[in-house]
Amino acid sequence: MNTVLLHSPALIVGLPIFAAILLMVVSRFGEKVRAVVFFAGIALASLAAISLAEQVLSLGAVRYVFGAPSPAAPLVPPDSGGIPVRILFHVDAAGALMLLVAALTSVAAALYALRSEERASGREYFYPLFLLLVGGVYGMVATGDLFNFFVFLEITSLAGAALTAYRIDHGLAAEAGLKYAVVSTLGGLSFLLGVGILLARHNLLNMAALGARIDLAGFGVPEAVAMALMIVPLAMKCGAVPMHQWTPDTYSRAPAPVSAFLLVSSQASLYGLFRIGFSLFGLSMDVSTVGLFVVILAVLSMFIGVTMAIPQHDVKRLISHHAVSQTGYMLLGAGVCLAVLGDPEKVRVFGRDALAGSLFHMMNYAVYNGLLFLAAGAVIYRTGTRNLDRMGGLGRTMPLTMACFGVGALAIAGIPPMSGFASKWVLYESVFRYSPLLSMVAMVVSLLTLASFVKVFQAMFLGPQRAAYAAVRDVPAAMWGAMAVLAVLTVLLGLFPDVVMQRLLLPAADALINQTAYTMPLGGAQ
């Protein structure tokens, strides 16, 4: 057991990738074997991730050295000239938060996929790609090495694009996949160029050591260029306006469980943005300018996302536009914290809360927006249409789906006591201290979100029954169970916000704000 715990950082990435390869081998033994290997891969990786997160939260950050005689080998080998030559996985409280999010949603999405993709062809490649997506997300969250981050970013992009286009859908899904792949490739290249500049300048790839070095050597023009080249692609990958054009296309055309997990992969990019903004550059860069830049992206995302959602009539596209809008909230909290990072008093009074609220919203969003995608997918699964104008009266025949969708809709609109309210509340309050106007924009956006979901709920579930759908039944148990898991989580996160805040979010926010805690053990690498 101790060995498993010791190697859990390697297992979270190794298990899904190993299961993906194993699936290719055993897929000829039939559907049952395939499903078991797929689900076991996801579930075991989740267990490893949860135990790793628990270990980090109770005992402090975990650093895992790859390629050393033992994972606990010295981070900087004595004969390496002060350079941490090996690849490290570095999980602190912020990483633990993301691991928990990915672990919970991946299990729900996988459970759902087992049934929803049952009738589809080509599952022998669908399952391995999904496993690669999950493994890539874990890798992005756990790694402490910039180039390694780039590799995992590309793995998630590749698997995500392939899964998006999996049901060709008269070429529409292929178009969505192409858009996702092109912007991801361009973003990846930009990120790689930034990594190359930093490597050429400092001979380091390890984020912690690099952070300490930049802090010491000063933030020159090359660092400024590298910072822009790394932050902008990550903002694009999490769907910030005006670089969000791929988001509605990709989320709406991907199969429902894939959309639900693509959200988490976008969150992993957002986590990367936080990591690079706070831990790598932190106070070395001009935080107020970059923070203001992030805040501007946030306001644009919130407002344009929600106003674009209002006239939509394709249910998944509507939810995808809301995903853009919700990402704006997370960027807002983080941007405010980044903008005041130079002033410890302001950080104490509201910056820390803003970042914690942003992380809280990230966690809630992954759960309730995933739930909304799964519930919308369930309706599409039964009715065969994604057009809201053609739905109606489904509450009579699909009450379980209606209940789950209702929970998700209340949460995204910020109605208490669902989780969305608690995180938005923290954001409103803390952002208000930075600028009341931003807080008001956030509230107006929340109102528009509510209006939009009233429409969706009414169009899908209420009104007179349609003869065409009089015979539809509720979805199979596995699909409903997956939605129920997420719905229960949404309610619980809303009912016990204080526990989550103290145990998980404030440590995570502190881990991001306190740059030296991240860089310290490698700071001697000068």
Partner 1 sequence: MKAPFVMMAMLETTHGGWSPLVWLVVFAAACGVALWIRAIGRGDSRTGGASQKPFLSGNDLADPEDARVAASNMYWGFTHALRVYYRRVMAFHSGSLADSILWFLVVLAMLLLAGRVA
Partner 2 sequence: MADLFAHMPLVVAGLLLMIGLAIALWKRNLIQMLMGLTVVEAAVNLFLVASGYRHDAIAPIYTNAAEGARMVLPTVQALTLTAIVIGLATTALMLSFVILIYRYYKTLDVNEVRKLRE
Asked whether position 92 contacts partner 1 by CB under 8 A, the answer is no
Rounded to the nearest whole angstrom, what is the least distance from the CB of residue 185 to partner 2 in the complex?
A: 5
Rounded to the nearest whole angstrom, what is the least distance from the CB of residue 400 to partner 1 in the complex?
A: 22
**On the CB side of 348, how many CA atoms lie within 13 Å of its CA?**
3
Asked whether position 224 contacts partner 1 by CB under 8 A, the answer is yes
- Candidates 77, 416, 481, 523; binder of partner 1 (CB under 8 A) is 416
Asked whether position 463 contacts partner 1 by CB under 8 A, the answer is yes
Distance between CA 116 and CA 103 in Å, rounded? 20
Q: Which phi and psi (to 5°) does residue 63 adopt?
A: -120, 130
Asked whether position 335 contacts partner 1 by CB under 8 A, the answer is no
Site string for partner 2, 106-145 (x = CB under 8 A): ----------------------------------------
168-190 exposure pattern, b = at least 16 Cβ within 10 A, e = fewer: eeeeebbbbbbbbbebbeebbeb
Asked whether position 175 contacts partner 2 by CB under 8 A, the answer is yes
- Candidates 106, 143, 157, 259; binder of partner 2 (CB under 8 A) is 157
Helices (H), 27-92: 31-59
Asked whether position 216 contacts partner 1 by CB under 8 A, the answer is no
Asked whether position 171 contacts partner 2 by CB under 8 A, the answer is yes
Distance between CA 80 and CA 187 in Å, rounded? 32
Asked whether position 307 contacts partner 2 by CB under 8 A, the answer is no
- Candidates 15, 304, 482, 522; binder of partner 1 (CB under 8 A) is 304
- Candidates 28, 119, 170, 473; binder of partner 2 (CB under 8 A) is 170
For residue 507, how many other CB atoms are within 10 A of its CB?
A: 20
Write the single-letter amino acid at 352.
Answer: R
Distance between CA 234 and CA 224 in Å, rounded? 16
Interface region with partner 2, contact rule CB under 8 A, candidates 146-154, 401-409, 420-428, 505-513: 146-154
Asked whether position 187 contacts partner 2 by CB under 8 A, the answer is no
**If you write DSSP's letter for every residue of 421-484 in order, what string do you get?**
HHHHHHHHHHHHHH-HHHHHHHHHHHHHHHHHHHHHHHHHHSSSPPGGGTT--PPPHHHHHHHH
For residue 520, how many other CB atoms are within 10 A of its CB?
A: 14
Instruction: Return all residues near 89 (Cβ < 8 A) that are at least 6 apart.
Output: 9, 10, 62, 63, 64, 66, 142, 143, 144
# residues contacting partner 1 (CB under 8 A):
70
Which residues of the shown chain bind partner 1 in the complex (CB under 8 A)?
178-179, 182-183, 186-187, 190, 221, 224-225, 227-229, 231-233, 235-236, 242-243, 245-246, 248-249, 285-286, 289-290, 293, 297, 304, 307-308, 310-311, 313, 349-350, 353, 388-389, 391-392, 416-417, 421-422, 425-426, 429-430, 432-433, 451, 455-456, 458-459, 463-467, 494-499, 501
